[in-house]
Chains A and B, each alone.
Chain A
């Protein structure tokens, strides 16, 4: 997958999620904006209600999206037989996409009514999504291989050394002589070296990477610890969400609400 294709897919992920959020919000605003007590008298109640044609559909589709997003990623990560299918990073992005779009649909399925046992599922969902966003940030803080494997401290140190060497040998820049400070201060200092324009860009990139790596190295231990605990939050909430969702679906089916079926 080329970088461009990857970028396009990522953008379309974001676009689909945002458009879904905006469009549903736009068309359902008059309904969702009503107090709970008055919604029944809205002309589109039968469509937007949680058990309505759209509302119920959003719930079912949203749930399926989440289930696919969760279990496909889990399977890819945990089961050896799937470990060779695709790059884990893309799977993560797909996981993030489905588990962002799904909750958006679920959000509109709830019609912003957060009560009952199913709300536990919803708030768990919110927690999972929120932790996902946080997790995504922590995840980035931990240097990884192209496959997405976490790198060890030694590996990271080697990576930095390689960068230092590259700077030294290719551009004759001693990173130890570069002041550690704000980025613009580094840039202004680079200008004094009177490098060519392309070299300047390359050096700048290398220095930025070097500095990033240096920062990450400084936090690596801490981040690896946090990430361990992050799983403790992300996964259990996902579990609770799923369990309660199953109860919710079971109850709904028990009482005969079968959407279009």
Chain B
């Protein structure tokens, strides 16, 4: 009987006692405590006669103990500190028991001493969860690092989780500049506390504009410390290529590159367009209409000036620039020289050289240069119109008679007419024959239908003595060379001069007589005194 009992007892112990050491346990320990299974380990957690004490837990969980002592983390919060650990972290509920179980969605992270603010509390980030931060990569402690499920080991220093964006070029206390809402907007940073306060447009600039990203260790880093700012050109491109020196503020302000604060020190001559002549007197705005800094064309005068000549000079679609004729001294004067004029169809010669331009080019209110004609009558009044027959100056071509050097010098070949100019006629002015004053004292000209005979012009001072059929042929006695020198041969008359008569002056015989038909006197040559007694006593 006893043997049978012993066998049964023994067999039950064998079946039930497959791991006697663990059999006192009221249930399997959770995974994290699995190594504490076994009867010899009970007192590692359980205090004899005193359940499970906080001290026993913290003896093992030194990391928590350290945090509590340092008054850091959730376990040092008023809600947790002083409580028995098993109130939250119970065990013996099976291997898969969640010994650390808390509602991640409702957990008040502020109790850890690190309130989740701004981007740390983003609700729109679906990919974000506790493990985004609580991961081994952010844990320094090598022991904690191995525990992939731990929420311990994180430091509050930004750089313990975040990459040093500035690669050590800035102080590690990120939150002096950056807030929790956005890293990009360094809201805590007041640029005005730096040596370069942000003024004007600099206030609204994207930081990257000045603090340019650069590659450090294969990563893009924005450079903040050590950014050059002594000169504007440290950041800004010198649009003037150093023509005006490096002190941009002389003219420009931070409000706008385009808003010029003063031109007092501005030397326009350093630009590609030196101000010469009248340009020096012109108000800036006349040329720089929109903004002083807006680039304007200045290659051609017409880039600014209106074409006064209304495209008169456009040839083959190309307009010559004003400076071909004008200079900076003003438009009233022209630099267009006679030489240049002589390249035109109408060369300036003679009196035209002394003629003011306006005489031809400003006949009316405006200057005109084209289609003003190139023949004399286009400018000059044809005085002789209706007086000189067209056959002598076809198409009113004055140059048939006149030359450009001197109007009064006539080059007309009088031999073309019926009256050939000979002798002293050649020494006479044209006007002597062709102009006369009328009764009213007005000069009147006459070219056509002039009487070719001498009497046409000359008075017959012989009172008709020599008329033959009513006409006197002067040339019988007078030549063209000298009126006084008579070609008359006394010997052809009825009274030949011989002897002493040869030396007697003409007056001795041909005495002045009173003209019966007219006023004045005349010398009577046909006195019919051929007898000696007619003269001699």
* Shortest CB distance A244–B (Å): 8
* Per-position binary interface string of chain A over residues 109-130, scored 1 when its CB falls under 8 Å from any chain B CB and 0 otherwise: 0000101111110011000000
Identify which of residues 33-53 in chain A touch chain B, using a CB-to-CB cut-off of 8 Å.
35-37, 39-41, 50-51
Given contacts A256-B48, A256-B49, contact A251 B24 (CB under 8 A): yes
Contacts of A123 in B (CB 8 A): 16
B97 near A36: Cβ-Cβ < 8 Å: yes
- In the assembled complex, the Cα of A39 lies from the Cα of B13 at a distance in Å of 29
Contacts of A39 in B (CB 8 A): 93
B26 near A236: Cβ-Cβ < 8 Å: no
A240 within 8 A of B: yes
B1 near A232: Cβ-Cβ < 8 Å: yes
- In the assembled complex, the Cα of A215 lies from the Cα of B300 at a distance in Å of 142
B152 within 8 A of A: no
A255 near B23: Cβ-Cβ < 8 Å: no
Contacts of A232 in B (CB 8 A): 1, 4-5, 8
Report the nearest B residue to A41, measured CB to CB.
B101
A120 contact from B4, B17, B93, B97, Cβ within 8 A: B17
Identify which of residues 152-189 in chain A touch chain B, using a CB-to-CB cut-off of 8 Å.
none
A37 near B94: Cβ-Cβ < 8 Å: yes
* Shortest CB distance B526–A (Å): 176
A193 within 8 A of B: no
Report the nearest A residue to B6, measured CB to CB.
A236
A257 within 8 A of B: yes
* Shortest CB distance A227–B (Å): 13
Given contacts A50-B26, A232-B5, A247-B24, contact A120 B16 (CB under 8 A): yes
Identify which of residues 94-121 in chain B touch chain A, using a CB-to-CB cut-off of 8 Å.
94, 96-98, 101
B26 near A116: Cβ-Cβ < 8 Å: yes
- In the assembled complex, the Cα of A174 lies from the Cα of B335 at a distance in Å of 172
Contacts of A51 in B (CB 8 A): 26
A236 near B27: Cβ-Cβ < 8 Å: no
B93 near A36: Cβ-Cβ < 8 Å: yes
- In the assembled complex, the Cα of A102 lies from the Cα of B51 at a distance in Å of 26
A233 within 8 A of B: yes
A37 near B42: Cβ-Cβ < 8 Å: no
* Per-position binary interface string of chain A over residues 220-259, scored 1 when its CB falls under 8 Å from any chain B CB and 0 otherwise: 0000000000001101110110000001100100111100
A257 near B48: Cβ-Cβ < 8 Å: no
- In the assembled complex, the Cα of A32 lies from the Cα of B26 at a distance in Å of 16
Contacts of A50 in B (CB 8 A): 26
Contacts of A40 in B (CB 8 A): 90, 93, 97
A113 near B27: Cβ-Cβ < 8 Å: yes
B101 near A117: Cβ-Cβ < 8 Å: no
- In the assembled complex, the Cα of A250 lies from the Cα of B97 at a distance in Å of 26
A36 contact from B24, B27, B51, Cβ within 8 A: B27
A120 near B12: Cβ-Cβ < 8 Å: yes
Q: Chain B, interface size: which category?
A: 20 to 34
Contacts of A41 in B (CB 8 A): 101
- In the assembled complex, the Cα of A113 lies from the Cα of B97 at a distance in Å of 14
- In the assembled complex, the Cα of A51 lies from the Cα of B86 at a distance in Å of 14
B9 near A36: Cβ-Cβ < 8 Å: no
- In the assembled complex, the Cα of A79 lies from the Cα of B47 at a distance in Å of 43
B28 near A115: Cβ-Cβ < 8 Å: yes
- In the assembled complex, the Cα of A40 lies from the Cα of B93 at a distance in Å of 7
Contacts of A35 in B (CB 8 A): 94
Contacts of A115 in B (CB 8 A): 25-28
Contacts of B509 in A (CB 8 A): none
The binding surface of chain A is classed by DSSP as helix
A116 near B22: Cβ-Cβ < 8 Å: yes
Given contacts A40-B93, A117-B20, contact A233 B8 (CB under 8 A): yes
Contacts of B49 in A (CB 8 A): 254-256
- In the assembled complex, the Cα of A41 lies from the Cα of B9 at a distance in Å of 38
B384 within 8 A of A: no
- In the assembled complex, the Cα of A247 lies from the Cα of B13 at a distance in Å of 14
Given contacts A40-B90, A124-B12, A240-B12, contact A256 B26 (CB under 8 A): no
- In the assembled complex, the Cα of A124 lies from the Cα of B12 at a distance in Å of 9
Report the nearest B residue to A51, measured CB to CB.
B26
* Shortest CB distance B235–A (Å): 61
B24 contact from A116, A124, A236, A237, Cβ within 8 A: A116
- In the assembled complex, the Cα of A31 lies from the Cα of B90 at a distance in Å of 17
B50 within 8 A of A: yes
Contacts of A236 in B (CB 8 A): 5, 8-9
B347 within 8 A of A: no
Identify which of residues 116-149 in chain A touch chain B, using a CB-to-CB cut-off of 8 Å.
116-120, 123-124
- In the assembled complex, the Cα of A113 lies from the Cα of B17 at a distance in Å of 16
Report the nearest B residue to A255, measured CB to CB.
B46
Given contacts A36-B97, A115-B27, contact A257 B51 (CB under 8 A): yes
Contacts of B42 in A (CB 8 A): 251, 255
* Shortest CB distance B13–A (Å): 8
* Shortest CB distance A39–B (Å): 7
* Shortest CB distance B6–A (Å): 9
* Shortest CB distance A107–B (Å): 16
Contacts of B24 in A (CB 8 A): 116-118, 247-248, 251
B23 near A116: Cβ-Cβ < 8 Å: yes
* Shortest CB distance A117–B (Å): 3
* Shortest CB distance B92–A (Å): 9
Contacts of B25 in A (CB 8 A): 115-116
Contacts of A113 in B (CB 8 A): 26-27
- In the assembled complex, the Cα of A39 lies from the Cα of B94 at a distance in Å of 10
- In the assembled complex, the Cα of A248 lies from the Cα of B23 at a distance in Å of 10
- In the assembled complex, the Cα of A117 lies from the Cα of B46 at a distance in Å of 18
Contacts of A255 in B (CB 8 A): 42, 46-51
- In the assembled complex, the Cα of A207 lies from the Cα of B317 at a distance in Å of 148
Most chain A CB inside 10 Å of its own CB: which residue of B13, B17, B26 = B26
Contacts of A119 in B (CB 8 A): 16, 23
- In the assembled complex, the Cα of A118 lies from the Cα of B97 at a distance in Å of 21
Identify which of residues 109-140 in chain B touch chain A, using a CB-to-CB cut-off of 8 Å.
none
* Shortest CB distance B15–A (Å): 8
Contacts of B46 in A (CB 8 A): 255-256
Beyond A115-B25, A240-B12, A256-B46, 16 additional contacts (C-beta under 8 Å) are A36-B27, A37-B96, A37-B97, A115-B26, A116-B22, A116-B23, A116-B27, A117-B23, A118-B26, A119-B16, A119-B23, A232-B1, A232-B4, A251-B24, A251-B42, A256-B47
| Across the A-B interface, the 6 shortest Cβ-Cβ residue pairs | A117-B23, A120-B16, A36-B94, A255-B46, A256-B51, A37-B97
12 sample A-B contacts, Cβ–Cβ < 8 Å, listed by A number: A35-B94, A40-B97, A115-B26, A116-B22, A116-B27, A120-B23, A232-B1, A233-B8, A237-B8, A240-B9, A251-B42, A256-B46
- B-to-A contact residues, CB < 8 Å: 1, 4-5, 8-9, 12-13, 16-17, 20, 22-28, 42, 46-51, 90, 93-94, 96-98, 101
